[in-house]
Amino acid sequence: MRSKGFEGMVCPIAAVMGAIGDRWGMLIMRDLLLGIRRYDDLRQSSGVTNATLSDRLKSLEENGLVERRQYQTRPDRFEYQPTARGRDLSLLMQALVQIGDQWEMPGFQGAPLEFIDRRTGHGVKLMTVDEETHEALDAAHLGTRPGPGADALMTWRLSRRVSGVGEGADNNKQA
């Protein structure tokens, strides 16, 4: 049974999570972003049940992350392709991979997946940079402030912070 949706919540994190749906949706998107396209291959890769896979693919399609394309008739067979919006999730996937690698999960004998520059073969990683100077930013210096689209609830959330991302005197400076 699915939990309540995030409709009406002014939060980009909630919007992305709502579009993905749940952990199965993320793992299905992982496989699609890795280039797996066919239903049976998606099922084998994730270990998800037929009912769950079918439901999540429909949901991902309804949320504009996946496009279904017929590749065979008699019987009808379809493949699933990430849309431009779905391909945006590759940033999230890469961030989750980097965090998982950093956590050194038990049973891992090294990184199971590496992101590379296809032109050079060199590894790549996500990093936070200052928008104006383009210099790398240490995570300890990362803060938050209400953006131009912040509603009263987002402003309240930021007013309630105690520690973590967003702490510090400079975080409430307006742009």
Chain segment 13-65, per-residue pLDDT in tens:
999 999 999 999 999 999 999 999 999 999 999 999 999 999 999 999 999 99
Helices 23-33 and 12-20 pack at an angle, to 10 degrees, of: 80
Residues 46, 61 contacting (CB under 8 angstroms): no
- Report the alpha-carbon distance of residue 8 to residue 16 in Å, rounded: 13
Residues 94, 115 contacting (CB under 8 angstroms): yes
Helices 39-46 and 23-33 pack at an angle, to 10 degrees, of: 120
Chain segment 91-123, per-residue pLDDT in tens:
999 999 999 988 888 888 888 899 999 999 999
Give the residue with greater pLDDT, 1 vs 7. Answer: 7
Chain segment 141-167, per-residue pLDDT in tens:
999 999 999 999 999 999 998 765 555
- Report the alpha-carbon distance of residue 114 to residue 24 in Å, rounded: 21
Question: All domains of the chain, ordered by start, with CATH?
Answer: 12-87 (1.10.10.10)
